[in-house]
């Protein structure tokens, strides 16, 4: 563990520090030699898809692309450590509940199926078939299939996800909560009605041609390090890169590419952002509106600014938008964005000066109450000058999990389109359920109401990733059965239902042998590229099953003769699963042939062809008023005697979502600790507190429930006044279940109204729990 300190980081992102950090990660997993070899197979044509992020590879066909955090994700899976039945024999679950999230995952890979035993409060070994029969028994005893919930995390392959959604729909429900609900759900909800696709419209080639790249609410230096390579190349050829972020993220400022020999040898670096706007948390809506107002004022003053041909041929709704923009008030936009009129105009000028523009966004945009409207504003901005559907231009929501986009394509969706259900009916000969299912937040409510009885998770860490931690835990404990298909021990196995199973599976890096020989799976990246992924390491244990095998055997055990699907035959050879995928989705024609090409193939994206699969058959300009009734506005109006801050929760450089690798957040200067809260120095002074002092954080909400997270260290930081930042998942107890994005249901974990009080030690059980991560 590193020494605890706060020390401003002076270097660029990347560089030698990144290489050093990887060798540390390999050593920590006891895999220095095997690990290095494994890393060389990441994102190679005959290797596996990196389980890190969903950013595409420039050449899934050529050289090794170095990525510090990809390497850490691979090392975490390829670890030499094992969790055995002896480990479970030594620890009661109550004892494990006292351990941190870091400790749990650090025990290594799970090795055999385990079942919870109430009498001893321990997990005991169980045979695979017995486990499947137990789940089948619970599922088949439910009076209504809608009492079961089937979670998916975005690492599941297309093949696993396809079988899973088929099984669940044959079982009779659309209850598919998934990590997407907490992530890019608003991007899909915004863009589908607006441009007819719920995915980004650009490819990596567009990044080579863009004149300006706008980056909203994203921290690629940590979460998509390979994106920095693209940004560096763009900056070097003179493209403008404009970042909007309340924090000055180092990766958006300067980057030293570990692959560039000269840069490494000379300790040089490349400036990434030509413009950096530190707007207020949640200020993006007003900011983008300000940029558009500037564009329209320029059009009115000198003409020739808007792409009139594109607007006339391809869009509807421009009049209402123009009228709204002309009438918008600059002081209001300044107040809500935290930027001056001059700054918004400057950003607008970069937009006007560029022939081809890409807009990227991440969680800083999606995890707000008005995220859908904000994303529609971003798309409006692009459309004003025809920046969708031509080279070098377009929308780029940057996805998180490596196959989160593919899982949705495969039908992991609680609101399935009727066309998908019709095809499933025709291909598999059953009548799929037509009522929409529950998303993540609705699942938790279903559990709390007592109607949700069985919770099954294909990957992920539901107990730690979701909002309102203690409510969620009540819900999970309220279930008759919780089941986790998983690679490593985590909080969700400890906070479980009356009955519980842990089903350990193969990871991406491992060889998957079925009846027809070694199998590969496919994934879809953030730019709709589909390609094959084949593991290279021997399985972590001989008892592991692949995810497709687990799903198929569970389906066979549950559905029995009710199902016409040849479950066990399908998993003998994954080509057979892919043939079925092709039968259901037209875009997957010649699937098995096309994945033989190194790099795979791109799925059709109608918006990028300027074909608009929207209701009016055209792209739609959407008009929205500046939101003035957000939870933060309401909290401030109510708590006039206290300073109400808006807290954003984010990832450190040393974690993968709920998987904590270590306690350092190098680029933000935090070492050896995670319970910190970033705050403007003037706000510390105004509160009469000191830098380094311990505080408790309390949510300001209107339902009378006390939500708090205790003992965070104040760190004076370059962040706008009135805003705070702290790490997730420690802060999830602060996010109310009822705080969700309009029309998307995404927990608003980037804008929680909170107040701070000096820390008081009260020692209640709840507070002991709040130290669950990284303490």
Ligand X SMILES: Nc1nc2c(c(=O)[nH]1)N[C@H]1C(S)=C(S)[C@@H](COP(=O)(O)OP(=O)(O)OC[C@H]3O[C@@H](n4cnc5c(=O)[nH]c(N)nc54)[C@H](O)[C@@H]3O)O[C@H]1N2
Q: How far is the CB of 279 from Mo ion (least distance, A)?
A: 22
537 secondary structure, DSSP code: B
Of the candidates 469, 420, 402, 337, the residue with the CA atom closest to the CA atom of residue 169: 420
Q: What is the dihedral of CA 9, 11, 14, 15, to 10 degrees?
A: -140
Half-sphere exposure of 359 (CA within 13 A, CB side): 28
- With CB atoms as reference, the residue minimizing the distance to Mo ion is 400
The angle that helices 574-584 and 418-428 make with each other, rounded to 10 degrees, is 130
- List of residues 6+ apart from 735 with CB closer than 8 A: 467, 468, 649, 699, 747, 748, 749, 752
Backbone angles phi, psi at 41, to 5 degrees: -95, -5
Q: How far is the CB of 203 from ligand X (least distance, A)?
A: 19
Q: How far is the CB of 135 from ligand X (least distance, A)?
A: 15
Partner from ligand X, Mo ion, none binding residue 38, C-beta < 5-8 Å depending on class: none
Partner from ligand X, Mo ion, none binding residue 623, C-beta < 5-8 Å depending on class: none
400 binds Mo ion (CB under 5 A): yes
Taking the least distance from each CB to ligand X, the nearer of 394 and 548 is 548
177 binds Mo ion (CB under 5 A): no
Q: How far is the CB of 401 from Mo ion (least distance, A)?
A: 6
- In this chain, which stretch among 123-131, 181-189, 533-541, 587-595 interacts with Mo ion, using CB under 5 A? 181-189
Taking the least distance from each CB to ligand X, the nearer of 173 and 749 is 749
- In this chain, which stretch among 46-54, 182-190, 279-287, 524-532 interacts with Mo ion, using CB under 5 A? 182-190
Partner from ligand X, Mo ion, none binding residue 722, C-beta < 5-8 Å depending on class: none
Taking the least distance from each CB to Mo ion, the nearer of 334 and 407 is 407
Taking the least distance from each CB to ligand X, the nearer of 109 and 594 is 109
Partner from ligand X, Mo ion, none binding residue 462, C-beta < 5-8 Å depending on class: ligand X
Angle at 379 between CA 375 and CA 381, to 5 degrees: 115
Q: How far is the CB of 199 from Mo ion (least distance, A)?
A: 15
Q: DSSP 3-state assignment of 455? A: strand
Q: Max Cα separation, the chain?
A: 79
Q: How far is the CB of 141 from ligand X (least distance, A)?
A: 25
Which residues, listed in sequence order, are joined to residue 674 by a DSSP beta bridge?
A: none
Q: How far is the CB of 385 from ligand X (least distance, A)?
A: 21
**CA pair distance 254, 555, nearest whole angstrom:** 50
- In this chain, which stretch among 139-147, 180-188, 434-442, 619-627 interacts with Mo ion, using CB under 5 A? 180-188
Partner from Mo ion, ligand X, none binding residue 731, C-beta < 5-8 Å depending on class: ligand X
Site residues (vs ligand X, CB under 6 A): 52-53, 69, 105, 153-155, 179, 182-183, 216-219, 222-223, 244-247, 249, 279, 281-282, 284, 362-364, 367, 400-401, 458-462, 465, 485-488, 490, 505, 507-508, 547, 648-651, 655-659, 728, 731-732, 735, 749-750
Taking the least distance from each CB to ligand X, the nearer of 157 and 478 is 157
680 secondary structure, DSSP code: -
Taking the least distance from each CB to ligand X, the nearer of 588 and 717 is 717
Q: Are strands 645-650 and 676-679 parallel, antiparallel or unpaired?
A: unpaired
Q: How far is the CB of 42 from ligand X (least distance, A)?
A: 14
Partner from ligand X, Mo ion, none binding residue 69, C-beta < 5-8 Å depending on class: ligand X
Taking the least distance from each CB to Mo ion, the nearer of 654 and 683 is 654
Q: How far is the CB of 179 from Mo ion (least distance, A)?
A: 6
Taking the least distance from each CB to ligand X, the nearer of 508 and 531 is 508
Taking the least distance from each CB to ligand X, the nearer of 49 and 696 is 49
Q: How far is the CB of 471 from ligand X (least distance, A)?
A: 14
Taking the least distance from each CB to ligand X, the nearer of 491 and 594 is 491
Q: Which two tokens stand for residue 15?
A: 């560089």
Neighbours of 187 (CB within 10 A): 29
Q: In 338-448, which residue ranges form alpha helices assigned H by DSSP?
A: 341-353, 363-366, 371-384, 404-409, 418-428, 440-448
Taking the least distance from each CB to ligand X, the nearer of 440 and 684 is 440
The interface with Mo ion within residues 558-577 (CB under 5 A) comprises: none
- List of residues 6+ apart from 278 with CB closer than 8 A: 245, 246, 247, 248, 338, 718, 719, 720
Question: Does an H or E element contain 742, and which?
Answer: none
Partner from Mo ion, ligand X, none binding residue 461, C-beta < 5-8 Å depending on class: ligand X
Taking the least distance from each CB to Mo ion, the nearer of 172 and 397 is 397
Neighbours of 285 (CB within 10 A): 26
* Residues 412-441, mask of contacts with Mo ion (x by CB under 5 A): ------------------------------
Q: DSSP 3-state assignment of 15? A: helix
Q: Which two tokens stand for residue 554?
A: 């569970």
- In this chain, which stretch among 347-355, 392-400, 459-467, 660-668 interacts with Mo ion, using CB under 5 A? 392-400
Q: DSSP 3-state assignment of 93? A: helix
| Among 50, 53, 183, 231, interactor with Mo ion by CB under 5 A | 183
Q: How far is the CB of 360 from ligand X (least distance, A)?
A: 9
Q: Which two tokens stand for residue 690?
A: 């000191």
**CA pair distance 211, 157, nearest whole angstrom:** 35
Q: In 142-256, which residue ranges form alpha helices assigned H by DSSP?
A: 158-171, 185-195, 204-209, 220-223, 225-236, 250-253
186 binds Mo ion (CB under 5 A): no
Partner from Mo ion, ligand X, none binding residue 207, C-beta < 5-8 Å depending on class: none
Q: How far is the CB of 581 from Mo ion (least distance, A)?
A: 24
Q: DSSP 3-state assignment of 29? A: coil
Neighbours of 117 (CB within 10 A): 15
Backbone angles phi, psi at 109, to 5 degrees: -80, 140
Q: How far is the CB of 509 from ligand X (least distance, A)?
A: 9
Contact between residue 702 and residue 727 where contact means Cβ atoms under 8 Å apart: no
Start-to-end CA distance of the chain, whole Å, equals 12
**Rule CB under 5 A: which residues touch Mo ion?**
183, 400
């Amino acid at each position: 563990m590193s020494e605890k300190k706060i020390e401003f980081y002076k270097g660029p992102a990347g560089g030698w520090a990144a290489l050093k950090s990887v060798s540390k990660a390999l050593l920590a997993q006891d895999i220095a030699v095997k690990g290095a070899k494994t890393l060389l197979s990441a994102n190679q044509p005959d290797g596996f898809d990196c389980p890190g992020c969903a950013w595409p590879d420039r050449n899934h066909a050529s050289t090794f692309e170095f990525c510090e955090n990809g390497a850490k994700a691979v090392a975490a899976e390829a670890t030499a450590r094992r969790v055995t039945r002896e480990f479970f024999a030594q620890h009661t679950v109550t004892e494990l509940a006292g351990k941190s999230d870091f400790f749990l995952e650090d025990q290594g890979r799970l090795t055999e199926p385990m079942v919870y035993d109430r009498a001893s409060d321990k997990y005991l070994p169980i045979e695979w078939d017995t486990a499947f029969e137990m789940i089948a028994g619970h599922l088949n005893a439910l009076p209504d299939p809608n009492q079961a919930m089937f979670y998916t995390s975005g690492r599941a392959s297309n093949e696993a996800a396809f079988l899973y959604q088929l099984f669940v729909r044959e079982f009779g429900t659309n209850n598919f909560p998934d990590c997407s609900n907490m992530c890019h759900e608003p991007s899909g909800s915004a863009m589908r009605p607006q441009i007819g696709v719920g995915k980004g419209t650009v490819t990596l080639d567009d990044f080579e041609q863009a004149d300006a790249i706008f980056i909203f609410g994203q921290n690629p230096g940590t979460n998509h390090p390979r994106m920095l390579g693209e940004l560096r190349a763009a900056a070097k050829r003179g493209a403008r890169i404009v970042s909007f972020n309340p924090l000055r993220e180092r990766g958006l400022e300067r980057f030293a590419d570990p692959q560039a020999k000269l840069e490494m040898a000379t300790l040089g670096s490349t400036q990434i952002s030509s413009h950096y706007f530190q707007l207020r948390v949640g200020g993006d809506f007003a900011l983008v509106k300000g940029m558009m107002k500037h564009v329209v004022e320029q059009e009115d003053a000198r003409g020739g600014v808007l792409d009139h041909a594109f607007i006339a041929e391809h869009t509807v709704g421009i009049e209402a938008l123009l009228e709204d923009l002309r009438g918008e008030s600059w002081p209001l936009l300044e107040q809500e964005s935290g930027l001056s009129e001059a700054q918004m105009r400057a950003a607008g000028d970069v937009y006007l000066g560029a022939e081809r523009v890409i807009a990227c966004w991440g969680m800083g945009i999606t995890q707000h109450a008005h995220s859908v409207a904000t994303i529609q504003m971003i798309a409006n901005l692009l459309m004003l000058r025809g920046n969708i559907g031509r080279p070098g231009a377009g929308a780029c929501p940057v996805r998180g999990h490596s196959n989160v986009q593919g899982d949705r394509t495969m039908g992991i969706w609680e609101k399935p389109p009727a066309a998908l259900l019709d095809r499933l009916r025709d291909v598999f000969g059953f009548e799929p359920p037509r009522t929409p299912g529950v998303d993540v937040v609705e699942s938790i409510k279903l559990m709390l109401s007592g109607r949700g009885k069985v919770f099954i998770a294909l990957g992920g860490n539901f107990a730690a990733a979701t909002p309102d931690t203690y409510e969620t835990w009540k819900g999970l404990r309220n279930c008759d059965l919780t089941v986790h298909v998983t690679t490593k021990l985590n909080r969700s196995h400890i906070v479980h239902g009356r009955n519980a199973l842990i089903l350990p599976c193969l990871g991406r890096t491992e060889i998957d042998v079925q009846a027809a020989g070694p199998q590969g799976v496919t994934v879809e990246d953030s730019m709709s590229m589909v390609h094959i992924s084949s593991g290279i390491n021997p399985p972590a244990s001989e008892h592991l099953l692949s995810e497709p095998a687990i799903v198929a055997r569970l389906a066979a055990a549950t559905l029995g003769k009710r199902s016409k699907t040849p479950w066990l035959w399908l998993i003998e050879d994954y080509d057979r699963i892919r043939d079925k995928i092709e039968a259901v989705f037209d875009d997957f024609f010649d699937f098995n042939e096309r994945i033989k090409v190194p790099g795979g193939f791109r799925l059709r994206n109608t918006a990028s062809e300027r074909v608009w699969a929207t209701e009016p058959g055209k792209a739609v300009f959407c008009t929205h008023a500046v939101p003035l009734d957000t939870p933060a506005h309401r909290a401030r109006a109510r708590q006039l005697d206290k300073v109400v801050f808006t807290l954003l929760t984010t990832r450190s450089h040393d974690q993968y979502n709920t998987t904590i690798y270590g306690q350092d957040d190098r680029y933000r200067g935090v070492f050896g600790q995670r319970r910190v809260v970033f705050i403007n120095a003037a706000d510390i002074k105004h509160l009469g507190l000191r830098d380094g002092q311990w505080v408790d954080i309390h949510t300001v909400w209107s339902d009378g429930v006390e939500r708090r997270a205790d003992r965070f260290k104040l760190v004076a930081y370059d962040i706008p006044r009135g805003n705070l930042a702290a790490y997730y998942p420690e802060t999830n107890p602060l996010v109310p279940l009822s705080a969700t994005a309009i029309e998307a249901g995404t927990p608003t974990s980037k804008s929680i109204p909170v107040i701070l009080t000096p820390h008081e030690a009260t020692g209640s059980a709840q507070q002991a729990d709040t130290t669950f991560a990284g303490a």
